[in-house]
Amino acid sequence: MHTIEIPEPALSRFLFSDTRMAWFWLIVRVYIGYEWVMAGWEKLGSAAWTGSSAGVAVKGFLTAALQKAGGQHPDVSGWYSFFIRHIALPHPVFFSYLITYGELAVGVALIFGVFTGIAAFFGTFMNLNYLFAGTVSLNPVMLLFQLLLILAWRTAGWLGLDRYVLPALGTPWQAGEVFHREQ
């Protein structure tokens, strides 16, 4: 049995694999990274997120989300309200710190262009959780850009640290230079 490879369309290859598009992905990456850093920074300086009253803000957010889970056309799905009620709400301090430092880590990684695809994945995961909780605001726009960054992971960090880190460390399917050195 032989393998059949279906080639990428030229437009897809240009947008997501060509380093000439790295400047565009740099703009997208820095914009989304800035949004995450600002969101995390605001929480980092708030007593209700990471200070003496840590957990209060996230508890309020989650409680409000639960109120959107009822009615004929709920904004929050039943399965997600189960997650909120039984997993997140019993541990508000943990989730408060997780959200704050998660936003900062994703933002910094995107701005510096290090592990860009992974950072965009975790940013997407956070945006999906905010959307599942019935919050719209900037989340759909950030989600869209992060999905595009995931598709463009090979070139999105080209004008960043990924240009050096990825060849050195490699990927799960191909070891990098660090792992090929003779001892």
Scored b (16 or more CB within 10 A) or e, 126-141 reads bbebbbbbbbeeebee
pLDDT, tens only, 42-90: 999 999 999 999 999 999 999 999 999 988 899 999 999 999 999 999 9
Residue 125 above 90 pLDDT? yes
Q: Report the distance separating Cα 161 and Cα 111, nearest Å.
A: 10
Q: Report the distance separating Cα 66 and Cα 82, nearest Å.
A: 9
Q: Report the distance separating Cα 96 and Cα 165, nearest Å.
A: 31
**CA geometry: angle at 119 spanning 118 and 125, to 5°?**
90
- Average pLDDT on 136-142 reads 93
- Domain boundary assignment for the chain: 28-174
Neighbouring C-alpha atoms within 13 Å toward the C-beta of 85? 11
Residue 182 pLDDT class (50, 70, 90 cuts) = low
The neighbour count for residue 157, using CB atoms within 10 Å, is: 29
